[in-house]
Amino acid sequence: MAMNIKRPNGTEDVLPKDVHKWHTVEKIARETAISFGFSEIRIPTFENTDLFLRSVGETTDVVQKEMYTVMAKETKFTLRPEGTAGTIRAMLQNGLLNEALPQRVFYILSCFRHERPQAGRLREFHQFGLEMAGSASPAADAEVISLAKTILDRLGLRNIELHINSIGCPVCRAKYHDALRSYFDARKDELCDTCRERLVKNPMRILDCKSPICREIGKDAPVILDYLCEECSDHFDKLKKYLTKLGIDYSVDPKIVRGLDYYTKTVFEFVTTEIGAQGTVCGGGRYDGLIEQLGGQHTPALGFGMGIERLLLVMDKQGCDYLPVKKCDIYFATMGDAALEKAMELSDQLREYGFYAEFDLMGRGLKAQMKYANKIGALFSAVIGDNELDSGKIKIKNMAEGKDIEIALDKDFTNNFESLYFTTVMNGLEDEKILQSGNVIKENDNNG
Ligand code: ATP
Ligand code: MG
């Protein structure tokens, strides 16, 4: 019996009927990032495991529970759980940080985390992300947040809140860790096993634990904002000032610590309540220590990652617009082999001009071919048979209106089709314009 193999849990197929949604997000994100001076980078899907241990952090959920690691010929490799570590590794390895700063790169890639699959939480998911290296200025933080916000706005998303926090630098963090340790020590026995270990190694991680008990205990924990040193506190104040200047609404959430260890100073999340519990569509922040930690010179840097599946969940929910799906421009219905060969030749010429042309590949009868042309929503169709071949003329039928226009099968065929095409499309637009100005006139009438 043939085996019916299904896709692994927590993975998704993107079907042809939905791929335009992905193109929409990718196009808008790409163009926006480029307009802020970012260039695209592409990095490997797997890296040496040590890269993630050293950057993401040994006490994080990602490293402790979620990495896909394989042992291959005595070397441990891990499927990337996020994009920052690999991107910084690539920048260092290729000397990008010796070039003009800030270095700005973005990426669109898949990430792998062994999590419990649910809506908005997958084992293979996709991120649009970016990193900016070289600037310590809070203006860079404002720039990166503004870029993320611009993408969300251009996608037409609404009701997405920006939450920001500062988690300080190693200087302020030391005092804060002491305060957290004495707070959680009192209720040590109630914490989950992982967090009891974190209490010793990295108490701030407890605040990011997903266990309800640890969350409850963490509610009254001291907040980092009360422990910021002067430099971090100034940095945070300037960022808030810039965001206000840019007209970007935000709220300060002193509980955000983020799930990756490399963050310093600014952390932020864009959050919606419209897609259930997994409502963080974008998370990011500053990581001034990471580049040094990975063997580079001390270089302040920052970035974010946006979950594309989560963005699409919200876009679907809110009925946002997607890029239009390209429909068939012309379908040739053929009768006989000579007609089929003509259809091949004409399609070839039209495709050269960028048109989407199709003809029958199924050996269907004429009626069934026309039914098919309707089904795929072809803008025009043309029948080719012996009559057309003899007369050297074909009738191009506008499928929506049923009207047709005759075009000669000569060297001007493609040009003539192109004029017909654009006249038709323009007429469509003209109709829309009339409709719009009609509305305006009505509105004026009501007002006056
Ligand atoms: P969460 O708190 O939801 O687990 P995170 O802090 O682990 O998120 P990051 O590592 O900052 O997330 O990743 C950036 C973005 O990638 C998230 O804001 C989210 O949109 C998306 N993301 C993270 N994990 C997943 C996942 N398992 N499935 C789908 N999207 C994800
Ligand atoms: Mg997570």
Confidence at residue 430, expressed as pLDDT on a 0 to 100 scale: 64
Is there a contact between 356 and 376 (Cβ–Cβ < 8 Å)?
no
**Residue 199 CA to chain centroid, in angstroms?**
35
pLDDT at 432: 56
Regarding the beta carbon of 355 and ligand 1, being less than 6 Å apart is answered no
Q: What's the confidence (pLDDT) of residue 445? A: 37
Topology given in CATH for the domain delimited by 330-444: Rossmann fold (3.40.50)
Contact at 8 Å (CB) between 57 and 261? Answer: yes
Q: Is 296 near ligand 1, meaning CB less than 6 Å away? A: no
Distance (Å, whole) CA 421 – CA 328: 12
- CATH 3.30.930.10 residue ranges in the chain? 19-169+229-318
Q: What is the pLDDT of residue 210?
A: 85
Nearest CA to ligand 1 atom 14: 305
Cβ of 358 closer than 6 Å to ligand 1, yes or no, is no
- Ligand 1 atom with the smallest distance to the CA of 258 is 6
Q: Enter the CATH code of domain 19-169+229-318.
A: 3.30.930.10
**C-alpha to C-alpha distance for 217 and 187, rounded to whole angstroms:** 8
- Ligand 1: which residue has its CA nearest to atom 9? 283
CA of 119 to the centre of ligand 2 (A): 13
Give 10-residue mean pLDDT values along the chain (448 residues): 90 97 98 98 98 91 93 94 98 98 98 96 98 98 98 97 96 91 93 91 89 92 95 98 98 88 93 91 96 96 98 97 95 98 98 97 97 97 98 96 95 96 82 48 35
Q: Which helix (H) or strand (E) holds 394?
A: strand 393-398
- Name the residue of 160, 278, 282, 309 to mutate for ligand 1: max ligand atoms within 8 A of Cβ: 278
Q: What are the residue ranges of CATH 3.40.50.800 in the chain?
A: 330-444
Our mutation pick for probing the ligand 1 site, out of 215, 266, 280, counting the most ligand atoms within 8 A of Cβ, is 280
User: Ligand 1: which residue has its CA nearest to atom 22?
Assistant: 307
Q: Which DSSP helix (H) or strand (E) runs through 351?
A: helix 337-352
Q: Which residues pair with 108 in a beta bridge?
A: 128
Nearest-ligand number for the alpha carbon of 56: 1
Alpha carbon of 308 to ligand 2 centroid (Å) = 14
Distance 10 CA to ligand 2 centre (A): 14
Whole-number CA gyration radius for the chain: 29
Atom of ligand 1 nearest to the CA of 82: 10
Residue 385 and residue 395: Cα distance in Å, rounded? 11
Which among 60, 65, 111 is the best mutation to test ligand 1's pocket, defined by most ligand atoms within 8 Å of the CB?
111
Omega before 170 within 30 of 0, i.e. cis: no
What is the number of the ligand closest to the CA of 115?
A: 1
Residue for token pair 């009609």: 438
Determine the distance separating the centroid of ligand 2 and the alpha carbon of 326, expressed in angstroms.
Answer: 36
How far is the centre of ligand 1, averaged over its atoms, from the C-alpha of 44 (Å)?
20
The predicted structure's pLDDT at residue 1? 67
